[in-house]
A and B are shown apart, each in its own frame.
Chain A
Amino acid sequence: MRTLLLLFCCFFSIALHAQAEADKLLGLWEPSNGKARVKVEKIGAKYFGKIVWLREPNDPQTNQPKVDKNNPDESLRNTPLKGYRILKDFVYSGKGEWTDGVIYDPENGSTYSCVIKMKDDNTLDIRGYIGVKALGRTDVWKRMQVTGK
């Protein structure tokens, strides 16, 4: 009975540790171009990232808040970019990697396969690719801390 309890504690501890590792992705991140900030959230068992800040929040053409005007789906072209989920469906696959997700580029309306790798607690390698990982580009995102209003 004592052995069983010990085993249960071990498994529980490992599961908690894995969960804590996976949740390291949560938080606020800034892509290398500094044009946006993305907040990563967990919904169910998957991770999503939405735009929460834009360096240029208004469209210079309309002077209205930017919308997803390049989306290939016409019905989404009036969706505000602020709040838009550009990282979708990521699952933690261990060793600091989140896979099976996609990243959306509002600049051109393209969606790419994507893998996220955590280099350290405050740095992500975000690789968007086409079909195979070799045909892609890696962007480095840095973790941001909210300092308050």
Chain B
Amino acid sequence: MKRGILSLIWAAAWLPAPALSAQTPDTLPPAASDEDYSQYEQVQFADDGARSYCYPKILDLAPQRFVSIGWDAQALYRMQSSALGEYQGDDDPAVAEESDVRYTGGLRLTANVPVVSRNSVVWQVGANYWDVRYDLNPVFALSESAGLHARLADRGLRTLGLNTTVFKPLDAKQFLYVQAGADLNGDYTFSDFQPLRYLRYSAAVVWGKRPSDYKQWGIGLSRTYRVGELNYLPVLLFNWTSPNRKWGVETLLPARAHVRRTFSPRSLMLAGFELEGQSYRIEALSDGDNSFEIRRSELRIRLEYQRQIAGFFWVSAQTGLRNDWRFHGDELEGGRDFFRGFFGDQPYAMLNNLGNALYLNIGVHLVSP
């Protein structure tokens, strides 16, 4: 199965390449340089309606991806779960179920299509599908265990999401960035689909400045599931490229932060972290209208290499440590989510503990102009 996915990714990188290549033979060499170019220094706009807008990116950022096909896999780790009950996050309940997880991973597909892409506004619509499969070896399971591990091994977890982003330059230096998304997360299959009332919504608004081609920054607010459960967090955007264009920083806190080393316009390396999280409904553990949800959040400390392979196709290889931030379970009454934040005392319905694991992520991407 894994070999099949890898073959698919590799084949996808090459098959459409000729059709998508924008290169055409040059019909003329670069122009001769005997013209007096100084005459073009003193100019004015032919009309007075010209207005400048700031560009969404700065120099040398890792390329934005239109379409991505990837595969993610985590190495061996141990998973421990309590029985169903009421717990505070720092409780240490008895372990009711324990397994060695031999494989966690699956296919990751994402697409982002620009609906409007102009100087004055950029509007994109995207979709993503993540599949997480578990292959685990039970160590023990007490009679009072909820059976979460067997359920994960049987069904895995899936995410199907839609999102939209709008970049609106306010003038030549300032911009507004708005993002919204809806995700259906759970142990559903396409033949046993999850009701849409369990959609989880996220959003972010950032106001920022782009003082030069080498720097942009912004501040904002997000409604996010990056920490596994619903939270409202400030957002800090900071992208910077060094004057020699060899180094840079790409940061969107709390989601991710990376240091970038640019080898050429066609290859780069990123080192840093990403916080990944979602709230997954587990059908078998949901009682009636209630929704039992695993609040999965993991911090991925990582190194990623990206390079162009042909035309606008790039590949990426990423490896690092997957650190378990949270994998606890919540019982949501009537399926309605609630805000616990960092200081709330609403009890969890299950406490889980995952060992940390090395992970690998590879992908093929069609990148944006």
Contact = CB atoms under 8 A, between A and B. Distances in A.
B47 interface: yes
A61 interface: yes
A93 interface: no
B52 A34 contact: yes
| Best-surrounded residue of A135, A138, A142, A144 (most CB of chain B within 10 A) | A135
A82 B30 contact: no
A137 interface: yes
Q: Interface centre among B50, B59, B213, by most A CB within 10 Å?
A: B50
Main secondary structure of the interface of B (DSSP, over half): loop
A131 B22 contact: yes
Interface residues of B, number: 50
B119 A60 contact: no
B35 A83 contact: yes
A44 to B, nearest CB: 9
A20 interface: no
Given A107-B59, A111-B22, A146-B43, A79 B30 contact: yes
B31 A85 contact: yes
Contact of A83 (B22, B33, B43): B33
B1 interface: no
A109 B114 contact: no
Interface in A49-83: 50, 52-53, 60-61, 68, 70, 72, 76, 79-80, 82-83
B162 to A, nearest CB: 17
A61 B243 CA distance: 8
B191 interface: no
Contact of A122 (B35, B46, B117): B46
Contacts, number: 150
Contacts of A112: 22, 369
Contacts of A53: 37, 40-41, 43
B42 A148 contact: yes
Contacts of A2: none
Given A61-B244, A110-B369, A145 B46 contact: yes
A60 B243 contact: yes
Contacts of B143: none
Given A83-B35, A84-B30, A109-B266, 10 more contacts: A48-B31, A83-B33, A109-B265, A111-B23, A130-B20, A134-B113, A137-B117, A138-B118, A139-B119, A149-B41
26 contacts: A28-B43, A33-B55, A50-B30, A52-B35, A52-B40, A53-B37, A82-B33, A83-B31, A83-B33, A88-B24, A88-B28, A112-B369, A123-B47, A130-B22, A130-B366, A130-B368, A135-B113, A135-B368, A136-B117, A137-B117, A137-B369, A138-B119, A139-B118, A144-B45, A146-B39, A148-B42
Interface of A: 28, 30, 32-35, 37, 39, 43, 46, 48, 50, 52-53, 60-61, 68, 70, 72, 76, 79-80, 82-85, 88-89, 102, 105, 107-113, 121-123, 125, 128-131, 134-140, 142-149
